[in-house]
Chain A
Amino acid sequence: MTRVPGVRFFLGREPLPVAELTGGEAAQYAALPPHGPRRRAWLTGRHALRRALVWTGRPADTSRVTFPHDAVSLSYSGAIAVVAATDGAVAGIGVDVETGPPPDIETARVFLRDGELRMLRRLPPPRQPGALLRWWTVKEALFKADPDNHLGGLRRYVLGTPPGGGGVARRAAGRCGAGLSYRSFALRRGYLSVALALDPTRSVPPMANRDFSELAAKLAPLISRPAATISPDLTMNDLALDSMTAVEMVVDLQEDYDILLSRADLESCATLGDLAELIWSRLPGAAGNEPVRG
């Protein structure tokens, strides 16, 4: 089962020849300042964007693309351009690549929330600049992916931990909207991050239609039981877990899936099938995935 749609990157190093521009692209190109690096960068970006659009099955004319977009996103750094594209049903995709020096640590307050600043300060000082640069690319990617990004700036997106190779993010306020997930890659110099806003209108298939084996595989080492013997109809009592193992199981699942479950939620689960359905219903992109309190 794949919960997060696939993403492909297209790197632009060379500008698209002006002679190959469509009418719409030529008009956009003409509106750019005639001097300076903007025109070359724009053409390099169009080169990558065209290939990405074709890959998604869309017309290659880049002049019809407006951002935020649900299939492609574009980022520039120095002489290169990177386009991230997805062929999955998502509400938005965002990419950011940064190969320059990290932002000044004093600017962190502009895009990190108070809790994130504390996390940054707790990192060993030599790691802080790199972490800050990665944080920036993740936040930029999240902003670009969010169809509602006009409602706020980068501080609106909340990461529960310092950004690593991937994870999920939340909006600090406002309507719940689409769930946000990201992946981040360390480059030789700098970082490349991509984010997806999952489509909240897509309903989550019922558990019966999903692959229970994923959950069984997660539970097997936790409850010291072969995955093949873990079925949806097993009750919690059947598992005969000691209390700490039960805690480890439910907290581990919440951390892995980045969801919240309350005591009342857990008490409502008679079987592992119930637990699986509860987890699935709380995943980003599932209908009614508001945070759980109490």
Chain B
Amino acid sequence: MPSLSDNDRWLLSYYRSSEINAALFFGRVSRMVKPGELQAEVTHHFADEANHAKYWNQCINDLDAYPIKMRESYQDQYLDAVGMPSNLMEVMAITQVLEKRVIGQYRRQLRVPGLHPRVKQTLDQIMLDERWHIQYVRDALEDMKDRYGADHIEATLDKFTRADQEVYAKTLAEYGERVDFLGVRPEFLGGPDDL
């Protein structure tokens, strides 16, 4: 008997799809960055995201199912809303906001009552990498202050964070009952930092 409900399978497949799109995004970013420390970090990040997609695939398989073939991802919905980044600072700012959203979402998932241990194991494994992602992106943005201006970076992060809150609310509304079990109510839709 399958261990996953339809909604569980859909959500885990959505996570897999989002990780795949993140890997594809960071694969492109890895080619943009100049030789140096950030180049190594972004390339590491690219590999992490690809691994996360693999973890979700394995997790779904271990729960006697296959991932649903889908192209949707949170990143695509987000980039549709904020527009494509125009320079490397915006790329890193978008990354910062999306990584915080991912951590927030995965934390929320970890709090779901009756979470399957195999799903918890996958979440725990991915969360280890996500914390490092947040840290190196924060450092990269700090290093960019001389070039782009601290105020400009701050304003960009604020703008992207506000957009994330709107997109997240829309995403929850769009997928309705599939994510009801996460227990998210509109009044609790704070920024990623609040999650």
Contacts and interface: CB of A to CB of B under 8 A. Distances in A.
Contact of B86 (A160, A170, A262): A262
Given A119-B143, A164-B36, A248-B28, A261 B148 contact: no
Interface residues of B, number: 30
Interface stretch (A46-54, A190-198, A249-257): A249-257
B139 A122 contact: yes
B33 interface: yes
Interface in A173-201: none
Nearest to A246: B84
B6 interface: no
A150 interface: no
Contacts of B147: 158, 160, 170, 260, 291
Given A122-B37, A244-B28, A158 B146 contact: yes
Given A122-B139, A251-B88, A263 B34 contact: no
Nearest to A252: B32
A250 B88 CA distance: 9
A247 B87 CA distance: 8
A260 to B, nearest CB: 6
Given A115-B143, A158-B146, A170-B146, A243 B84 contact: yes
Contacts of A261: 86-87
A161 B152 CA distance: 20
A262 B31 contact: no
Contacts of B114: none
A161 B146 CA distance: 12
A162 interface: yes
Interface in A70-110: none
Contacts of A262: 86-87
Contact of B149 (A115, A243, A293): A293
B79 interface: yes
B142 to A, nearest CB: 6
Contacts of B37: 119, 122-123, 161-162
B132 to A, nearest CB: 12
A13 interface: no
A113 interface: yes
A294 interface: yes
Contact of A248 (B31, B36, B149, B152): B31
A247 B144 CA distance: 19
A118 B139 contact: yes
B145 interface: yes
Given A244-B28, A293-B148, A293-B152, A260 B87 contact: yes
Interface string A236-277: 000000011011101110111000111101100000000000
A21 B195 CA distance: 76
A250 B143 contact: no
A122 B136 CA distance: 10
Interface in A129-175: 158, 160-162, 164, 167, 170, 172
Contacts of A252: 31-32
Contact of A247 (B38, B85, B148): B85
A247 B91 CA distance: 9
B32 A255 contact: yes
B143 A254 contact: no
Contact of A263 (B31, B86, B88, B142): B86
Interface string B76-103: 0001000111111001000000000000
Interface in B120-160: 139, 142-149, 152
A184 B12 CA distance: 50
B106 interface: no
Contact of A172 (B28, B139, B146): B146
B87 A254 contact: yes
19 contacts: A118-B143, A158-B147, A160-B144, A161-B35, A167-B34, A244-B24, A244-B28, A247-B86, A248-B28, A248-B31, A250-B87, A251-B85, A252-B31, A255-B32, A261-B86, A261-B87, A291-B147, A291-B149, A293-B148
Closest 10 CB pairs of A and B: A161-B36, A115-B143, A263-B86, A251-B32, A247-B84, A158-B146, A293-B152, A255-B34, A243-B84, A252-B32
Interface of A: 113, 115, 118-119, 122-123, 158, 160-162, 164, 167, 170, 172, 243-244, 246-248, 250-252, 254-256, 260-263, 265-266, 291, 293-294
Given A113-B146, A160-B144, A161-B37, 17 more contacts: A115-B143, A118-B139, A123-B37, A167-B34, A247-B85, A247-B86, A251-B29, A251-B87, A255-B33, A255-B34, A260-B147, A261-B86, A263-B83, A265-B86, A291-B147, A293-B148, A294-B152
